[in-house]
């Protein structure tokens, strides 16, 4: 049995990186949040970019964001983003930080048009 004619499988494998290390930590945190929280829409990704900016400005603690990310994945591994948004907003408010709602990042309001 020979596998010579079989097409080779390819996958993207990235090396494990330390969050908060010197270098391009912004991109690493942003990519981690987008991928692990399954942020599929542009408003969700814009929201996570804002969270990443606040971490870089030291307005949000990196450890808090990572802990809430893990909590959200434990709550619902298929779609953890809503849990992340709610929990982060709650924990940030306890620390005196006001975070925007995901609704501010929506491109267009959802309007139902009646069909006749």
Task: Round to whole Å and give the CA distance between 19 and 103.
Answer: 28
Region for residue 38 given its phi and psi (left: phi exceeds 0; alpha: psi -120 to 50; beta: otherwise): left
The conformational region for residue 96 under phi > 0 = left, psi -120 to 50 = alpha, else beta, is left
Residue 110, pLDDT above cutoff 90: no
CA distance 112 to 116: 13
pLDDT surpasses 70 at 72: yes
- DSSP-based three-state secondary structure for 87: helix
- For 32-63, the pLDDT digits (tens) are 999 999 999 989 999 999 999 999 999 999 99
Sign of CA dihedral 108, 98, 64, 84: negative
What's the predicted TM-score (pTM) here?
0.69
User: What is the tens place of the pLDDT at every residue in 22-34?
Assistant: 445 667 999 999 9
Q: Cβ–Cβ contacts within 10 Å for residue 70, how many?
A: 13
Rounded CA separation 58/80 (Å): 24
Gap between the Cα atoms of 69 and 50, Å rounded: 15
Cβ count near 99 (within 10 Å)? 18
């Amino acid at each position: 049995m020979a596998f010579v004619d079989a097409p080779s499988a390819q996958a993207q494998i990235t090396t494990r990186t330390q969050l908060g290390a010197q270098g391009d930590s912004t991109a690493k945190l942003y990519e981690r949040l987008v991928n692990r929280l399954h942020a599929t829409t542009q408003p969700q990704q814009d929201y996570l970019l804002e969270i990443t900016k606040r971490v870089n400005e030291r307005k949000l603690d990196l450890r808090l964001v990572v802990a809430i990310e893990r909590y959200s994945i434990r709550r619902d591994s298929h779609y953890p983003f809503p849990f992340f948004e709610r929990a982060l907003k709650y924990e940030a408010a306890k620390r005196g930080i006001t975070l925007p709602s995901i609704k501010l990042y929506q491109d267009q309001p959802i309007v139902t048009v009646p069909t006749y």
